[in-house]
Structure 1
Amino acid sequence: MSTMIKMVRALTAAAAIAVAAPALAAGEAPHIPREQWSFAGPFGTYDQAQLQRGFKVYREVCSACHSLKQVSFRNLAEDGGLGYTEEQAKTIAADYTVTDGPNDDGDMFDRPAILADKFPSPFPNEQAARASNGGAYPPDFSLLAKARAAHRGFPWFVFDAFTQYQEQGPDYIHALLTSYEEEVPEGVTIPEGKHYNPAFLAGNAIGMAQPITDEAVEYTDGTPMTVDQYARDVAAFMMWAAEPHLEERKKIGFRVIIFLIVFAGMLYFTKQKLWRNVEH
């Protein structure tokens, strides 16, 4: 027993060192508070009103620099999403222009977007995007809520696995958008053209200036028009963009768990019946 305990302790220590080593090498990781999300947990669902507000923030603010190239206009009208009708999605698509072709003359041409099209990029290529943003390349928003996550260290990620908490990405996006500070603390150097943001995972200096301020986007449903609310709404929208079928996945998962429980019970009672007269 003592040998087993020693082995468990050794494995635990090794795991802690393995997890902590990258954080220590890169410096102390920023503290990212956990937020409350309607889509968190095994029974979580998207808030359609929040997704529509987040989409509005994206269209009016974020889309000037950030693409959404993995999302099609038809996705806006799918179940488990923003709740738009097909006609509303067509109207939104018609506001965008995409390049198509070649035509019969071999030339490319511009036309209004349709449901089958994906959201067009605000820049023709990466070089143009960097040139317009001081050398920084604005990341695509399609999968950012999954790709940018403030992973918690040992042993907290173990608890997250058991509680199925997978919202570290939206937590980070919300923290990033609400953590800009004008005053730089003593001892911290911010290069010219960068901005101080203690929540930025790649250091305190971020190339993107604070993108939004209070009352920058008009809400018509009475929701507060604050940076905190804007950040919360656009983070939820980005989570939907990264995982549009989240609600369906959770429903299927719940049904599978119920099936496995019932199936395990049936196997147990079948075994009891088949072997009841056999001596063990």
Structure 2
Amino acid sequence: MVIGKGALLVTGAVLGTGILGAKIAHASEDHAHPPHYPWNHNGAAESFDAKSIRRGYQVYREVCSACHGMEYVAFRHLGEIAFTAKEVKRYADETEVWTEPDENNEIHKRPAKSFDYFPSPYRNKLEARAANGGALPPDLSGIVKARPGGEDYVFALLTGYDNPPAGVELREGLYYNPYFPGGAIGMAPPLADGSVDFVDGTPATLSQMAKDVSTFLAWTSRMEQDTRKQFGIKATVGTVIVAAAAWYWKRFKWSTVKNARIHYRD
């Protein structure tokens, strides 16, 4: 069999692309992959844990909100799953948000309302970068969807801070975390045992706080998840009922027609 030059060129290009892709994929493996944790809310018929969301919001409010905003989450959303209307109003009243510019092009702060969205700790991105050494703290509204691994990644990141391995040197202001791309992260370890005092009395260990705030962030990223699961269950049950009724109609109601015989007289 004779192979033309064109076929050889195409084959070489394919193999070369494959090798280059493998090298790129290998080069991107500069961080550890988070293990998979058995989150209850990821089950086919499981819903979010409201108590964990309450604790997770407390962790966000008392720790994470100092650097991270959630511009797509409003206070009223909290009342849809874990908080009463009175609690939502109280949390909003305790928070200040920036007003729109007035006639003098000046902005002021006012107590938030239930329809207001969680405020950013900074007025703009320039101020955020200036306060964080040039780095821009990401918005946490959809962080679980935005990061490969979802809540597994968030939990692993929060609990994965460690001393750098031998031969790895970090410049000042960076911390070692094997789950962060590159291993060097500018965010100091945000959580430690006892960082918050949970209202419900749950011991505030590092893993407990990381688990609760990861659950909270998973919910803010997928608020519609429980509603979709409920609709899916209802649709499945309805489909089974309709299928059973159709089978009954075909099996019994049409049995006389299907089994009918025609006799002709001579």
Is contact 1:102–1:108 with CA below 8 Å preserved after alignment? yes
How big is the shift at 1:212? 1.3
Aligned partners of 2:59 and 2:209 also within 8 Å: yes
- Alignment partner for residue 225 of structure 2, among 233, 240, 246? 246
Residues 216, 106 of structure 1: CA spacing in aligned structure 2 closer, same or farther, 3 A cutoff? closer
Is contact 1:90-1:115 (8 Å) kept? Answer: yes
The 5 Å alignment of 1:1-280 reads: 21=22, 23-27=25-29, 30-78=32-80, 81-82=81-82, 84-103=83-102, 108-150=107-149, 169-182=150-163, 184-200=164-180, 202-267=181-246, 273=254, 276=258
Unaligned runs of 5+ in 2: 1-17, 261-266
Give the superposition deviation at 1:210: 0.6
Please, what TM-score do these two structures have when normalized by structure 1? 0.76
Task: Tell me, in whole angstroms, the C-alpha distance in 1 between the residues paired with 2:240 and 2:78.
Answer: 36
Q: Distance in 1 between matches of 2:109 and 2:200?
A: 35
CA contact (8 A) 2:34 2:156 kept: yes
- Cα distance, 1:87 vs structure 2: 1.6
Measured against aligned partners, the alpha-carbon deviations of 1:180-199 in whole angstroms (never above 9, x if no partner) come to: 002x1124343432211011
Is the 8 Å Cα contact of residues 73 and 116 (structure 1) preserved in structure 2?
A: yes
Q: How far does the alpha carbon of each residue in 1:191-227 deviate from its partner, in whole angstroms, 9 at most, with x for none?
A: 4322110111x22111111111111111243322111
User: What is the DSSP-based 3-state SS (H/G/I as helix, E as strand, rest coil) of the residue aligned with 1:32?
Assistant: coil
| Aligned-partner SS, 1:233 | helix
Q: Give 1 or 2 for the bigger CA radius of gyration.
A: 2
- Contact persistence 1:170–1:236 (CA under 8 A): yes
Q: How many residues matched?
A: 238
Deviations 1:112-160 (A, max 9, x none): 110111111000111111111111111111000111122xxxxxxxxxx
* Alignment-mate amino acid for residue 170 of structure 2: I
With over 3 angstroms needed to count, the CA separation of the structure-2 counterparts of 1:222 and 1:107, relative to structure 1, is closer
Following the alignment from structure 2 to structure 1, what is the Cα–Cα distance between the partners of residues 137 and 236? Answer: 40
Deviations 1:203-257 (CA, angstroms, capped at 9, x unpaired): 2111111111111111243322111111001001111111223221111011112
Structure 2 length normalisation: TM-score? 0.80
**Contact residue 198 and residue 204 of structure 2 kept, 8 A:** yes
Q: Decide whether the 8 Å contact of 2:144 with 2:217 is kept in 1.
A: yes
The alpha-carbon deviation at position 105 of structure 1 amounts to 6.7
Quote the sequence identity (%): 41
| AA of the residue aligned to 1:181 | D
Deviation, structure 1 residue 269: 5.4
In 1: Cα distance, 2:215 partner to 2:246 partner: 42
Deviation at 1:266, TM superposition (A): 4.3
Query: Counterpart of 1:119 in structure 2: which amino acid?
Result: F
* Change beyond 3 A, Cα 1:226–1:271: same
**Unaligned 5+ runs, structure 1:** 1-16, 151-168
Please state whether the residue corresponding to 1:39 is helix, strand or coil. Answer: helix
Distance (whole Å) between structure 1 residues aligned to residue 31 and residue 195 of structure 2: 31
